[in-house]
């Protein structure tokens, strides 16, 4: 193996791992200094010249010419009779620079050096990846789907670094295939089997925050601040924003003309419904805004216990609660208050939309009832239990439980 072949074999690591030239030269020098110390006991009087572009490696040994018979250290001194064989003009006291052939180290030593270099390059690469992504936690990155497993997806960035998007960090409706480009936020950097483990997320609040920052220049410039984000990934999110410039409408700026700014984010989040809310320190007003689109009639606050009793007209209750209770749940998380909804009416003939029972009755059961024309609690109670069993695919036990839940609601009222 000559020097050209050797450097070419080493260069493959540089090309594959994208190590910068100064680092590569330093590592190569360290590897060959180790070889020199093993062979000659010291590397002090050796010069190593590496040219990774041309594939050149030159090693020169510097020795002082001494009279014949006076050589004490053969590594640092050379007898006069040996020196003139290299160059006839050498005299005692002069320094001889002699080039060493790489092959002189022996094939076994060279292979060992190659293995050492491989190990060092891999460690450098690991450190570089760890440092790069540790500095990018909370930032959005993109990559190409390389492999899909049951619990996670392997993504490669532009430099071929491996990134992991766990199933738990994916939006429920996310569907990727090999070759797709994926955007996500860097959630954390860890190690697995002594290798860098870069965890991405599309469900983290930071992902939505960064998407807003990319789409809304006022957020990027610091004119609008995101005070808080709560979300059920892929379903709904509420974002409280505040402007430090009275001339800027924070909600309008985030939504954009005809929704131009928010639409791109909604598509990226698989049609996640995003409510932008103007933040305020007025708790009642903030809760009222958080329950949008419902219109509140009145409210009773218990600041000590962090609870709020909200009264609405019957037709507004289902809006406040939202599908599956999602709207009121997110509003509670956003405001920090436990919100209870009550119907503000004296009309004994009021009815209750079935969707308001989504926290007690499964959605598929509600859909079964709607399929036979029962959209409200009273429309169900008006039917005989036997008729409900006959007209739906529900078991008698299930029907009895539904009727019990609906009756209790009216008894409470």
pTM value is 0.66
Spatial separation of the C-alpha atoms in residues 144 and 156, rounded to whole Å: 5
Domain boundary pick from 300, 328, 347: 347
Bridge partners of residue 201, in order along the sequence: 185
Where does the pLDDT of residue 394 fall: very low under 50, low under 70, confident under 90, or very high at 90 and above?
confident
> Same structural domain for residues 14 and 102?
yes
More confident residue, 294 or 113: 294
Q: Is residue 402 included in any domain, yes or no?
A: yes
142/121 same-domain check: no
Indicate the average pLDDT of the chain: 84
197 with 181, same domain? yes
Contacts of 109 (CB under 8 A, 6+ apart): 35, 38, 39
140 domain-assigned: yes
Is residue 395 a part of any domain in this protein? yes
Q: Do the domain assignments include residue 10?
A: yes
Of 157, 182, 203, the one marking the end of a domain is: 203
Q: Is residue 177 one of the residues assigned to a domain?
A: yes
Same domain, 17 and 79: yes
340: its two tokens: 């209870």
Q: 26: domain CATH number?
A: 3.30.1480
Number of domains forming the structure of the chain: 4
Tokens of residue 317, six digits: 């209750």
Would you say residue 6 has pLDDT above 60? no
Residue 284 placed within a domain: yes
Residues 123, 11 share a domain: yes
Q: What is the mean pLDDT of residues 245-261?
A: 90
Dihedral sign for Cα 133, 137, 139, 141, please. positive
Strand order in the sheet with 307-312: 296-302, 307-312, 338-343
| Residue 32 and residue 71 in one domain | yes
pLDDT band of residue 69 (cuts 50, 70, 90) is confident
The pLDDT of residue 239? 96
Token code pair at residue 135: 């500095």
Which of 277-286, 316-325, 343-352 reaches the highest mean pLDDT? 277-286
Task: Indicate the range of 64-68, 142-146, 279-283 predicted with least confidence.
Answer: 64-68
Residues 371 and 306 in one domain: no
**In terms of residue numbers, what domain contains 171?**
136-203
CA atoms within 13 A on the CB side of 46: 22
Residue 53's contacts (CB-CB under 8 Å, 6 or more residues apart) are none
Average pLDDT over residues 287-294: 92
pLDDT tens sequence across 75-129: 888 888 888 888 888 888 888 887 777 766 777 777 777 777 777 777 877 888 8
Angle of helix 21-40 relative to helix 3-17, nearest 10 degrees, comes to 140
65: nearest Cα among 90, 38, 36: 90
**What is the structure's pLDDT at 87?**
84
Q: Residue 324: its pLDDT value, please? A: 80
- 36 lies in the same domain as 59: yes
Last-in-domain residue among 347, 378, 399: 347
CATH number of the domain within which 183 lies: 2.40.50.140
Contact 141, 159 (CB under 8 A): no
In this structure, are 93 and 197 located in the same domain?
Answer: no
Give which of 215, 189, 228, 183 is closest to 202, Cα–Cα: 183
Q: Which band of pLDDT confidence, cut at 50, 70 and 90, is reported for residue 1?
A: very low
In tens, the pLDDT along 220-233 reads: 999 999 999 999 99
If asked whether residues 118 and 186 sit together in one domain, one would say no
Indicate which CATH number applies to the domain containing 306: 3.30.300.20
Based on the domain organization, do 7 and 126 belong to the same domain?
A: yes
The pLDDT > 90 percentage for the chain reads 37
Enclosing H/E stretch for 274 = strand 273-278
pLDDT in the model for residue 263 = 93
3-state class of 248 per DSSP?
coil
Spatial separation of the C-alpha atoms in residues 280 and 295, rounded to whole Å: 18
Lowest mean pLDDT segment, chosen from 244-253, 269-278, 320-329, 371-380: 371-380
- Asked whether residue 209 is domain-assigned, the answer is no
> Does a structural domain hold residue 231?
no
pLDDT band at 72 (very low <50, low <70, confident <90, very high): confident
> Which of 185-189, 209-213, 355-359, 393-397 shows the lowest mean pLDDT across its residues?
355-359
Residues 121 and 39 in one domain: yes
Q: How far apart are CA 157 and CA 172, in angstroms?
A: 23
Task: Please tell me the predicted confidence (pLDDT) of residue 32.
Answer: 79
Most confident segment among 77-91, 285-299, 377-391:
285-299
Q: Return d(Cα 242, Cα 228) in angstroms, integer.
A: 10
């Amino acid at each position: 193996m000559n020097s050209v072949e050797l450097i070419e074999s080493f260069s493959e690591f540089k090309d594959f791992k994208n190590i910068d030239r100064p680092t590569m030269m330093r590592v190569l020098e360290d590897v060959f200094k180790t070889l020199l110390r093993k062979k000659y006991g010291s590397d002090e009087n050796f010069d190593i010249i590496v040219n990774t572009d041309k594939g050149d490696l030159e090693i020169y040994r510097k020795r002082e010419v001494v009279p014949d018979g006076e050589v004490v250290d053969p590594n640092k001194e050379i007898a006069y009779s040996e020196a003139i064989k290299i160059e006839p003009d050498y005299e005692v006291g002069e320094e001889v620079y002699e080039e060493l052939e790489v092959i002189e180290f022996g094939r076994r030593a060279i292979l060992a050096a190659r293995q050492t270099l491989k190990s060092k390059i891999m460690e450098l690469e690991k450190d570089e990846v760890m440092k790069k992504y540790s500095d990018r936690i909370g930032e959005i990155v993109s990559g190409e789907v390389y492999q899909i497993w049951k619990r996670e997806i392997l993504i490669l960035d532009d430099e071929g670094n491996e990134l992991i998007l766990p199933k738990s960090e994916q939006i429920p409706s996310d569907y990727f295939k090999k070759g797709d480009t994926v955007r996500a936020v860097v959630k954390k950097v860890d190690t697995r089997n002594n290798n860098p483990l870069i965890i991405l997320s599309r469900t983290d609040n930071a992902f939505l925050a960064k998407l807003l920052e990319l789409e809304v220049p006022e957020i990027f410039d610091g004119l609008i601040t995101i005070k808080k984000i709560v979300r059920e990934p892929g379903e709904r999110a509420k974002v409280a924003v505040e402007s430090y410039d009275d001339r800027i409408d924070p909600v309008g700026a985030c939504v954009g003309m005809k929704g131009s700014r928010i639409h791109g984010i909604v598509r990226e989040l698989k049609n996640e419904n995003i409510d932008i809310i103007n933040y305020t320190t007025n708790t009642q007003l903030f809760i009222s805004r958080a329950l949008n689109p419902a219109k509140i009639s009145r409210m009773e606050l218990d600041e000590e216990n962090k609870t709020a009793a909200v009264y609405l007209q019957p037709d507004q209750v289902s809006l406040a609660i939202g599908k599956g209770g999602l709207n009121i749940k997110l509003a509670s998380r956003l405001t920090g208050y436990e919100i209870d909804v009550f119907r503000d009416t004296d009309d004994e003939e009021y009815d209750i939309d079935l969707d308001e029972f989504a926290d007690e009755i499964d959605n598929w059961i509600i859909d079964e009832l709607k399929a036979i024309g029962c959209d409200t609690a009273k429309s169900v109670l008006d039917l005989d239990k036997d008729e409900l069993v006959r007209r739906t695919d529900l078991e008698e036990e299930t029907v009895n439980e539904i009727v019990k839940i609906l009756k209790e609601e009216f008894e409470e009222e």
